[in-house]
Chain A
């Protein structure tokens, strides 16, 4: 009963968000569109990580490395084999997904802690690994990617609607990313609502019990890894196209870490969480830096050091505070607040019906 009443508001909310993202490039500059493209890319990889960490309960600190694989797949295919960049995006996703599947096999034998350790090591090693072989991956310099030109139908539509003289490649990439993000979020939503999602959550909450109910533990755990890696590969491919080059420095350890932070801040095991996580992951360091740089009373020397150290400090502090006070992230906070407000509005009569709080995924 409860969920039926809530459904219309949720659909309205989704509609508002989608319209916001579709309309965004028509009101902001081309450069700002490129920034929001990165937000959406983070949202995609965090969605993948969320399936793995939030729903299946396995930890990965190595998703930056998987993004690197996706980005390098696209870069090498476009640069060396002159493939169309559009065709390389699904190839990057599938290749990374297959690698993720094989990563998932040893992960079956590892406890969550060991898995964290192994994937952390993978993230640390990746930047030095992709320097070789240099003639293939471009070594330290990496590979440059030309900005893709928007196809005629898209630029025609865009100029008609906005009245702008032309569509930039940044704006085209934004819409491409948005379309993929919508599809991938819709897929994830379907995945977690149906049989696989139930199986994953059963495994997360009690492996032995899940096995007793006939859930194929190994199958679903590796499936979660593969799907999660697929998302990371697509996101990595788009990331390379958006920033225009790939190099070992594009994928530092901190990237893997930022992605996990985003997943946690947004809220694990929820569908809107990754979008919020993507927004926070991209904008938090930029906003904190702009804030510090804009304060006149802070000496410029201190400010310049803070701009290097600031993101780390604010991430770290925020993460610890969140884990202590709101382990379910922003979405968890919102659900708690919404529930409290609802209870207040409905009055005391219905306040304590003994109902379980809504599962995060139905939000």
Chain B
């Protein structure tokens, strides 16, 4: 029982990482109906920037906030330069562009920072604390806290500010929003910036656990896809819940299913994606899609 609780707790911690990246995916999906295959690579690149800042002697939290700001700016710039010219292109073209972006960013990171895995400093003490009989590390608790703060901030921004209202309006009814004086194109760029920043937070949280290298997020992005699909790809809350469920499920499968072990955890993520898509394509919280013909 104790071990079970422990597995659940560390699953929630990794789930926070998946939830953040899944939320980033949902933000972009809502903005322009597109799954951003480059989201993980963008997060990885931002994490390298964070490491560079920390190596220059900055305090972890200052570096963290700076990284989010840089990632935000980077997301806006990417949307303006790369995505905007193909905004109206068919889905295939958009998917291919984000795949190209993913390879480009991955290659750039390898070029600039090398392929040797680097350890990433953790801001949390390397100790454990007892909760309900389960031993929890400060690292896990810290990751849960940081993801919770990020998710709540995004929720407040989207639901409680006029900017958030404009963002949501622009994605749901672009034409009407334009008539009301919302600059829809810039709202899309803003959405990319926000998604990029949220993704960067997940990268920085993942790096102390996974070691930082250009392919770090390739597994995380699969779990994030699973989380977003499970929650319903257009629902931010669904993505968050999905992230935690996926984190816990994968941890439990790795611990208790002998044939899964360490190396087939990725397959669990794949199975979640397939099962949800086949049985309930709208996910837990998504609305059934209605197509007008």
Contacts and interface: CB of A to CB of B under 8 A. Distances in A.
Interface of A: 53, 57, 59, 61, 106, 109-114, 116-118, 120-122, 124-125, 128-129, 131-132, 208, 253-254, 257, 260-261, 264, 268, 305-306, 308-320, 323-324, 327
Given A308-B110, A310-B107, A317-B104, A109 B86 contact: no
Given A109-B281, A121-B270, A128 B264 contact: yes
Given A257-B103, A316-B102, A323-B97, A117 B115 contact: no
Given A208-B293, A310-B107, A320-B82, A122 B99 contact: no
B278 interface: yes
Interface string B86-122: 1001011101110111111111111100110000000
A117 B264 contact: no
A210 to B, nearest CB: 12
A327 B278 contact: no
B96 A313 contact: no
Interface string B266-280: 110110011001100
A312 B107 contact: yes
A261 B96 CA distance: 8
17 contacts: A110-B277, A112-B95, A114-B229, A124-B270, A257-B103, A261-B99, A308-B115, A309-B108, A310-B107, A313-B107, A315-B107, A316-B104, A319-B97, A319-B104, A320-B97, A323-B89, A324-B86
A1 to B, nearest CB: 31
Contacts of A318: 100
Contacts of B107: 309-316
Contacts of B34: 113
Contacts of A268: 92
Given A319-B103, A320-B82, A312 B110 contact: yes
A290 to B, nearest CB: 17
B35 interface: yes
A324 B87 CA distance: 10
Contact of B93 (A131, A132, A327): A327
Contacts of A109: 277-278, 281
A116 B229 CA distance: 13
A200 to B, nearest CB: 15
Contact of A125 (B102, B108, B267, B281): B267
Contacts of A116: 35, 37, 95
Contacts of B259: 132
Interface in B107-155: 107-111, 114-115
Interface residues of B, number: 48
A116 B218 CA distance: 16
B274 A313 contact: no
Contacts of B99: 61, 257, 260-261, 319
Contacts of A128: 263-264, 266-267
Nearest to B91: A112
Given A117-B225, A311-B107, A131 B263 contact: yes
Contacts of A323: 86, 89, 93, 96-97, 100
Contacts of A114: 229, 277, 281
A309 B95 contact: no
A237 B121 CA distance: 46
B111 A106 contact: no
Interface of B: 33-35, 37, 82, 85-86, 89, 91-93, 95-97, 99-111, 114-115, 218-219, 222, 225-226, 229, 259, 263-264, 266-267, 269-270, 273-274, 277-278, 281, 293
Contacts of A61: 99
- Give the 7 A-B CB pairs with smallest separation, nearest first: A316-B104, A312-B107, A319-B100, A309-B110, A313-B107, A316-B103, A309-B111
A349 to B, nearest CB: 35
Contacts of A111: 91
Contacts of B86: 323-324, 327
Contact of A118 (B93, B263, B277): B277
Contacts of B105: 316
Nearest to B268: A125
Contacts of B35: 113, 116-117
A124 to B, nearest CB: 5
Nearest to A315: B103
B264 A129 contact: yes
Contact of A59 (B95, B218, B266, B274): B95
Contacts of B266: 124-125, 128
A227 to B, nearest CB: 19
Contacts of A132: 259, 264
Contacts of B269: 121, 125
Nearest to A121: B270
Contacts of A309: 107-111
Contacts of B277: 106, 109-110, 114, 117-118
A110 B281 contact: yes
A261 B101 CA distance: 12
A254 to B, nearest CB: 8
A71 to B, nearest CB: 20
Nearest to B274: A118
B100 A121 contact: no
B82 to A, nearest CB: 6
Nearest to A212: B293
B96 A316 contact: no
Contact of B229 (A117, A253, A261): A117
Given A59-B95, A118-B277, A320-B82, 8 more contacts: A116-B35, A121-B225, A121-B269, A125-B222, A132-B259, A311-B107, A320-B100, A327-B86
Contacts of B226: 121
Contacts of A261: 96, 99-100
Contacts of B111: 305-306, 309-310, 313
A117 B86 CA distance: 20
A247 to B, nearest CB: 15
B104 A320 contact: yes
